[in-house]
Chains A and B, each alone.
Chain A
Amino acid sequence: MSPRLQLSGITKRYANVVANNAIDLTVLPGEIHAVLGENGAGKSTLMKIIYGAVKPDAGTIAWEGVPVTIANPARARRLGIGMVFQHFSLFETLTVADNIVLALENERTSVELSDRIRDVSNRYGLPLDPDRHVHTMSVGERQRVEIVRCLLQEPRLLIMDEPTSVLTPQAVDKLFATLRRLATEGCSVLYISHKLNEIRALCHKATVLRGGRVTGDCDPRHESSSSLARMMIGGELPQTQHRAAHAGADVLVVRKLTLAADDLFGTSLSDIDLSVRAGEIVGIAGVSGNGQRELMTALSGERRQDEADTVTLLGTAAGRMGAAQRRALGLAFVPEERLGRGAVPEMSLAENALLTAYRKGMVAHQFVRAGVVRDYAARTLRTYGVNAAGPDATARSLSGGNLQKFIIGRELGQHPRLLIVAQPTWGVDVGSAAQIRQALLDLRDRGGAVLVVSEELDELFEICDRLAVIAQGRLSDAKPVAETNAEEIGLLMSGVFIHRDGEGRYLRPDSSR
């Protein structure tokens, strides 16, 4: 039997990096094949080459034993290659059926297609309403649309690019069941991820990439997480130091925060209660799009509240204060979008440091003290091991992980009483992620209060003292990490706690049963 897909010597160079260097990869029919690697290892480039979105500089591709040139995505789809993107390729203002009809070449009306959508989606346990508009759907539902859209094309190779980063643990189980079923029907799956335990649970084979090269080939079912990690990062997984918490007085108190969405595609917040004490890290878990963005703008001061006492910062009613006033009280904030909100892309690192740390002696009599600004930026680069040309490098020139280290370092250098950080390690390589987590723990140990919003459950369990869950704009009560588990958090993430008792508190499902 000839392999479904065989890549030999695939090479792709960009201006100054070799994204893929002589990569060989063989996928058999019915095989779930993992491509494992850190961010920047070349996984995405390789997938884009297979899907025809990027042309390789060298190398050959054989499809079912026949050499092919995949010039564009349309050609890939005609061959039978489907791809579910990490950042979805859906059209928000259109309905599910319209989105799917667009991808199918021989379909004219979405009406007759609706039945097929219902049929296929139910068969694979991915229920969908064809008439809903995509912008009303959760991220998990959108992924379902992408998958069903691929399945309707009856693909023989399905590429999944980091599919679980947006799913609850329960949804991940469902997805895996779907993929296993597809594989038994003869469809091959290329599964892109950096999550070792998922790959060990799901995949028949793994190809490991590091720095654009294949560094290993294995059966992940017979490997341990640390042996896979060695192949992936060329060393041991870094561990963080977690000391016992000594929580002090309340630093941030949120009472009955209700906020209408400022955007048609946004989420309204309702009745959010939350407190963070000195010397503790509180985590907020949840699938993105459940109100995290709105909560962050409400806490940072980008959107002010009507009542001053909705948000209390270090004993001061701060609800009506803007971002600058709240920062003056001792708040530091690291938003989810690094370029654009966390840093100005075109400005130098020094100028970006000035933007939030100007209170650190950088301004005298309305004049900027350039030396102080540069020193602060240079010190941040040194302390946090940021890989950058220097304080004059533009923020845009840094990789995601390095920029995040710089932004967090810039905020920590202001010795905040409260640090609010959204998605601290999103798109950051394993080594830098461990460093960032350690920095957050260190701030906590020095008596700082930290609020972390993240989609990575493993990360939250690693660093947090208490955990709350946001779902559909509501926040569950924060619970000590030791008293909960991933399964319970996963249930809460899917919004199962919308019941309240007599005192207006949310009731949570009992995890012991």
Chain B
Amino acid sequence: MMDHAITLLLLTLAAGTPLVFAALGELVTEKSGVLNLGVEGMMLVGAVVAFIVATTSQSPWLGVAAGMAGGAALSLVFAIVTLSLHANQVASGLALSLFGIGLSAFIGLDYVSVIIEPIRPLTVHGLPDIPVVGVLLFGHNPLVYLSLALFAAIQWFLSRTRAGLVLRAVGESPQSAHAIGISVVRIRYLAVLFGGACAGLGGAYLSLVYSPSWAEGMTSGRGWIALALVVFANWKPWRVLAGAYLFGGVTLAQFQAQGMGVELPSQYLAMLPYIATIVVLAIISRNAAVIKQNAPASLGRPFHPEG
């Protein structure tokens, strides 16, 4: 029983991790006032690029780096279009998702049934053998630890550093930030690129760790869930983390339910993680005051320095 619970916990973390990456990256992007709806596309491109590089180079870690670069490259297109050319962010972001879905399917054609050696959990000798705590603390995949480190870093960055303060200020009032001499466009570029790299990392985790393979549209909507997570989490990193693991937990639970032969069509069960995550987050995030205090006020609005 205990073992079973521990396994579930491990798997929950594993299932939630791609969302943690993608949503935390999007959170940083949105905190700068830019709404990038292209997360799904960036995740897919990250996933396929990571997979291709990992299979051809035989180095999964090179694959991870390539996945991040792929996501960032796609987000750079978005940044140029919206920040330098002042295109509408919503339309550009949707287009970016569609573009990423198509592009990843295209460049991944030859890799659909290729098998790859996944990135293994860390095996520090003996440590995972410590009862209960051992596996819980030391039995995870390195990328899971990376996601937790990313969470801590972003939390610290946003609340404790001057650069984080500047980022929040730009998202709240780009006009005011510009007036006191902050380079709004440069900071937004960096935030968008960071978000792209994180989404790519989330994709790389999917194709190199979670289900080590490449399949067209393998993110199955996680990019959209990441977007919803950020909003319903009121732009708070720890709530993003909680939401991601909730999604992971329900994903697991419905697999178990399918395995036990629950009398429900599998399609309904497959919907569950998405519905549960959104319903729970929507219910706990109804406080208008909290939203106003945390939401980047300029979200989605283009910024022109002169005018």
Task: Report if A280 contacts B (CB, 8 A).
Answer: no
- Beyond A54-B306, A264-B292, whether A91 also contacts B181 by CB under 8 A is no
Q: How far is the CA of A351 from the CA of B169 in the complex (A)?
A: 39
Chain A residue with Cβ nearest B161: A108
- Beyond A54-B306, A91-B173, A93-B293, whether A103 also contacts B181 by CB under 8 A is yes
Q: Which of A248-277 contact B (CB under 8 A)?
A: 263-265
Task: Report if B149 contacts A (CB, 8 A).
Answer: no
Given contacts A91-B173, A93-B292, A94-B168, could you give 10 more A-B pairs where the C-beta distance is less than 8 Å?
A53-B305, A54-B306, A73-B180, A77-B181, A90-B173, A91-B169, A94-B169, A101-B165, A102-B165, A263-B292
B180 A89 Cβ-Cβ under 8 A: yes
B174 to chain A, nearest CB (A): 11
Task: Report if B40 contacts A (CB, 8 A).
Answer: no
Q: Which residues of B contact A38 (CB under 8 A)?
A: none
B169 A73 Cβ-Cβ under 8 A: no
Q: How far is the CA of A72 from the CA of B177 in the complex (A)?
A: 12
Task: Report if B179 contacts A (CB, 8 A).
Answer: yes
B179 A53 Cβ-Cβ under 8 A: yes
Q: Which residues of B contact A98 (CB under 8 A)?
A: 165
Q: Which residues of A contact B292 (CB under 8 A)?
A: 93, 263-265
Chain B residue with Cβ nearest A102: B169
Task: Report if A85 contacts B (CB, 8 A).
Answer: yes
Chain B residue with Cβ nearest A110: B165
Q: Which residues of B contact A74 (CB under 8 A)?
A: 181-183
Chain A residue with Cβ nearest B168: A94
Task: Report if B276 contacts A (CB, 8 A).
Answer: no
Task: Report if B59 contacts A (CB, 8 A).
Answer: no
Count chain A residues whose beta carbon lies closer than 8 angstroms to a beta carbon of B. Answer: 29
Interface flags, B176-217, vs A, CB<8A=1, else 0: 111111110000000000000000000000000000000000
Q: How far is the CA of A91 from the CA of B170 in the complex (A)?
A: 9
* B interface, CB within 8 angstroms of A: 162, 165-166, 168-169, 172-173, 175-183, 288-289, 292-294, 297, 305-306
Chain B residue with Cβ nearest A109: B162
Q: Which residues of B contact A94 (CB under 8 A)?
A: 165, 168-169, 172
Q: How far is the CA of A98 from the CA of B159 in the complex (A)?
A: 11
B292 to chain A, nearest CB (A): 5
- Beyond A91-B176, A93-B293, A94-B172, whether A73 also contacts B181 by CB under 8 A is yes
Interface flags, A38-67, vs B, CB<8A=1, else 0: 000000000000010110000000000000
- Beyond A102-B165, A265-B292, whether A90 also contacts B176 by CB under 8 A is yes
Chain B residue with Cβ nearest A83: B179
Chain A residue with Cβ nearest B295: A93
Q: Which residues of A contact B183 (CB under 8 A)?
A: 74
Chain B residue with Cβ nearest A92: B172
Q: Which residues of B contact A91 (CB under 8 A)?
A: 168-169, 172-173, 176-177
Which one of B162, B173, B178 lies within 8 Å of A101 (CB-CB)?
B162
User: Interface of chain B, helix or strand or loop or mixed?
Assistant: helix
User: Interface of chain A, helix or strand or loop or mixed?
Assistant: loop
Q: Which residues of B contact A89 (CB under 8 A)?
A: 173, 175-176, 179-180
Q: How far is the CA of A491 from the CA of B289 in the complex (A)?
A: 32
Q: How far is the CA of A385 from the CA of B297 in the complex (A)?
A: 39
Interface flags, A440-475, vs B, CB<8A=1, else 0: 000000000000000000000000000000000000
- Beyond A91-B169, A94-B165, A94-B168, whether A264 also contacts B180 by CB under 8 A is no
Q: How far is the CA of A472 from the CA of B183 in the complex (A)?
A: 37
B178 to chain A, nearest CB (A): 7
Chain A residue with Cβ nearest B306: A54
Query: Which 9 pairs, one residue from A and one from B, show the smallest C-beta to C-beta distance?
Result: A74-B181, A89-B176, A89-B179, A103-B180, A264-B289, A73-B181, A264-B292, A91-B172, A91-B169
B92 to chain A, nearest CB (A): 23
B167 to chain A, nearest CB (A): 11
Q: How many A-B residue pairs have CB under 8 A?
A: 68
List, sorted by A's number, 29 A–B pairs whose CB atoms are closer than 8 Å.
Answer: A51-B179, A53-B178, A54-B306, A73-B180, A74-B182, A76-B181, A83-B179, A85-B179, A89-B173, A89-B176, A91-B172, A91-B176, A93-B168, A93-B293, A94-B165, A94-B168, A94-B169, A94-B172, A98-B165, A102-B169, A102-B177, A102-B180, A102-B182, A103-B180, A103-B181, A107-B162, A264-B288, A264-B289, A264-B292
B166 A73 Cβ-Cβ under 8 A: no
B172 A73 Cβ-Cβ under 8 A: no
Q: Which residues of A contact B181 (CB under 8 A)?
A: 72-77, 103, 105
B185 to chain A, nearest CB (A): 11
Most chain B CB within 10 A, of A54, A76, A103, is at A103
Q: How far is the CA of A93 from the CA of B288 in the complex (A)?
A: 14
Q: How far is the CA of A76 from the CA of B294 in the complex (A)?
A: 31
B285 to chain A, nearest CB (A): 15
A452 to chain B, nearest CB (A): 31
B201 to chain A, nearest CB (A): 29
Q: Which residues of A contact B168 (CB under 8 A)?
A: 91, 93-94
Q: Which residues of B contact A85 (CB under 8 A)?
A: 179
Q: How far is the CA of A392 from the CA of B121 in the complex (A)?
A: 70
Q: Which residues of A contact B306 (CB under 8 A)?
A: 53-54
Q: How far is the CA of A82 from the CA of B213 in the complex (A)?
A: 58
A264 B169 Cβ-Cβ under 8 A: no
A159 to chain B, nearest CB (A): 11
- Beyond A54-B306, A91-B172, whether A73 also contacts B165 by CB under 8 A is no
B173 A264 Cβ-Cβ under 8 A: no
Q: How far is the CA of A94 from the CA of B173 in the complex (A)?
A: 11
Q: How far is the CA of A149 from the CA of B179 in the complex (A)?
A: 13
- Beyond A73-B181, A92-B172, A94-B172, whether A102 also contacts B166 by CB under 8 A is yes
Interface flags, A172-214, vs B, CB<8A=1, else 0: 0000000000000000000000000000000000000000000
Q: How far is the CA of A497 from the CA of B158 in the complex (A)?
A: 43
Q: How far is the CA of A103 from the CA of B180 in the complex (A)?
A: 6
Most chain B CB within 10 A, of A74, A83, A149, is at A74
Q: How far is the CA of A75 from the CA of B180 in the complex (A)?
A: 10
Q: How far is the CA of A307 from the CA of B293 in the complex (A)?
A: 32
Q: How far is the CA of A264 from the CA of B176 in the complex (A)?
A: 21
Chain A residue with Cβ nearest B160: A109
Q: Which residues of A contact B173 (CB under 8 A)?
A: 89-92
Most chain B CB within 10 A, of A74, A102, A264, is at A102
Q: Which residues of A contact B165 (CB under 8 A)?
A: 94, 98, 101-102
B272 to chain A, nearest CB (A): 35
Which one of A73, A92, A149, A265 lies within 8 Å of B178 (CB-CB)?
A73
Q: Which residues of A contact B294 (CB under 8 A)?
A: 93
Q: Which residues of A contact B288 (CB under 8 A)?
A: 264
Q: Which residues of B contact A107 (CB under 8 A)?
A: 162
Chain B residue with Cβ nearest A90: B176
Q: How far is the CA of A73 from the CA of B174 in the complex (A)?
A: 13
- Beyond A94-B169, A108-B162, whether A73 also contacts B179 by CB under 8 A is yes
Q: Which residues of B contact A108 (CB under 8 A)?
A: 162
Q: Which residues of B contact A83 (CB under 8 A)?
A: 179
Q: Which residues of A contact B305 (CB under 8 A)?
A: 53
Q: Which residues of A contact B175 (CB under 8 A)?
A: 89
A266 to chain B, nearest CB (A): 10
Most chain A CB within 10 A, of B162, B183, B289, B306, is at B162
A82 to chain B, nearest CB (A): 10
Q: How far is the CA of A107 from the CA of B162 in the complex (A)?
A: 9
Q: Which residues of B contact A103 (CB under 8 A)?
A: 180-181
